[in-house]
Structure 1
Amino acid sequence: MSTIKKLAALLLAIAVVASSAAIFAGVGPAVDLLASFEKEYEKQLFKAESNLLDLAETPGKTTANTLDGQARK
């Protein structure tokens, strides 16, 4: 009986080490993926803000107020 418990404890320890290694191996790519999402979001946000500034600074172009008025018609 003692041998079976030792074998079960050994197998459990191996399973714990293997699952921990898999988790640690997956953390790096997950962080890289999140960083790429963040970079893409910041790029799109900068582009949107830049477009809004260009629209606000250019006379004669459609502004938010005229768009709002058109939507009410």
Structure 2
Amino acid sequence: MRTIKKLAAIFLAIAVVASSAAIFAGIGPAVDLLASFEKEYEKNLFKAESNLLDVAETQRGSIANALDRK
């Protein structure tokens, strides 16, 4: 019985070390993935802001033309 407990404790220790190593190995790729999501988000945000500015410029021009005609 004592030998079984020792083997179970050793197996548990190996499992803990293996799972910890897997977690630490997965941190780097996870951070890289999050950074790529952030970069893509910022790129899309910049495009959206640029599009809004273009629309505002177009509307401003249309309003100015309409006022000039009156």
Gaps of 5+ in 1: 61-73
- Of all paired residues, the percent bearing the same amino acid is 87
Which protein is bigger by CA-based radius of gyration?
A: 2
What is the CA distance between 1:5 and its match in structure 2? 0.7
Which stretches of structure 1, 4 residues or longer, exceed 3 Å deviation after superposition?
none
Residue identity matched to 1:55:
V
2:55 and 2:2 map into 1 onto residues whose CA distance is 78
- Who is 2:19 aligned against? 19
What is the CA distance between 1:54 and its match in structure 2? 1.6
Q: Which has the higher helix share?
A: 2
Gaps of 5+ in 2: 63-70
RMSD: 0.9
Structure with bigger RCO (C-alpha 8 Å, 6+ apart):
1
1:52 and 1:34 map into 2 onto residues whose CA distance is 27
Residue by residue over 1:7-36, the C-alpha shift from the partner in whole angstroms, topping out at 9 and shown as x without a partner, is: 110000000100110011111101110110
SS in 2 for 1:12: helix
Q: TM-score by structure 1 length?
A: 0.76
Aligned length in residues = 60
- Who is 2:4 aligned against? 4
